[in-house]
Structure 1
């Protein structure tokens, strides 16, 4: 069973996304922002198969987390998806350059969301 780290500063959104993933056979872990996620990942106790992060968050945003993950030799193998309502093409370009695997626009259709998650995990 694959484990996904869900990163979002809104607990209610984290919970909805986590429950959706769990209903489709995934295990989930949660982090409240990029810094929280990075601390958990670097702590070594957390084993995840994919990072699913919001873009706009306090402390460390999704792009900052993406750059930190892809810049760390121990973490860079983790596939990374941004799940966001952000539509700025410049931000999308910067994320792609930083090593982003996929960008999922909110709101999303469950089938395509789960399909993208599965595809991204299985292509590694």
Structure 2
């Protein structure tokens, strides 16, 4: 079953979050089409180049075809084929991809232990629902954390 997600809320015009550009090459893995479209649109407004994948396996195929082509992978946790943790595991096991920053967005609760699994694999996570400013802050944290 595909989990449905709320839309990303708007940030007031002229706020620092609204004006700051990210300018990243993002591989966005999401099986729920409305969320994929909203997330891609929000990222493009931040100056990002967005490459879309409708599930974890398609994301992995894109990564292997162009291993240096992305600055970050943002993935839903619950997807058919490969879920977010399975995708993260594949990335960490590939020498060409192992240092790629990855953010997993999940509606599952922290009690499920998903956060521990993601952190153990060197990824970061963001729980749904979230505000747009938190989404972009998590992206910045993920990219900056991999650079240190």
TM-score, length basis structure 2 = 0.77
Tell whether the 8 Å contact from 1:8 to 1:31 is kept in structure 2 after alignment.
yes
- Residue 92 of structure 1 is matched in structure 2 by 115
Count of residues in Structure 1 that have an aligned counterpart in Structure 2: 123
- Once the two structures are superposed, residues 83-112 of structure 1 have per-residue CA deviations (whole angstroms, 9 ceiling, x without a partner) of 121114312211211221x21111211112
| Match runs of 1:43-122 below 5 Å | 43-44=65-66, 47-89=69-111, 90-100=113-123, 102-122=124-144
Gaps of 5+ in 2: 1-22
Which contiguous aligned blocks of 4+ residues in structure 1 show a shift greater than 4 angstroms? Answer: none
Gaps of 5+ in 1: none
**SS state of the match for residue 103, structure 2?**
strand
Tell whether the 8 Å contact from 1:40 to 1:46 is kept in structure 2 after alignment.
no
Q: Distance in 2 between matches of 1:88 and 1:110?
A: 20
Q: Distance in 1 between matches of 2:119 and 2:102?
A: 10
RMSD: 1.5
> Which one has the largest radius of gyration?
2
Tell whether the 8 Å contact from 2:67 to 2:97 is kept in structure 1 after alignment.
no
Q: Distance in 1 between matches of 2:68 and 2:79?
A: 21
**SS state of the match for residue 81, structure 1?**
strand
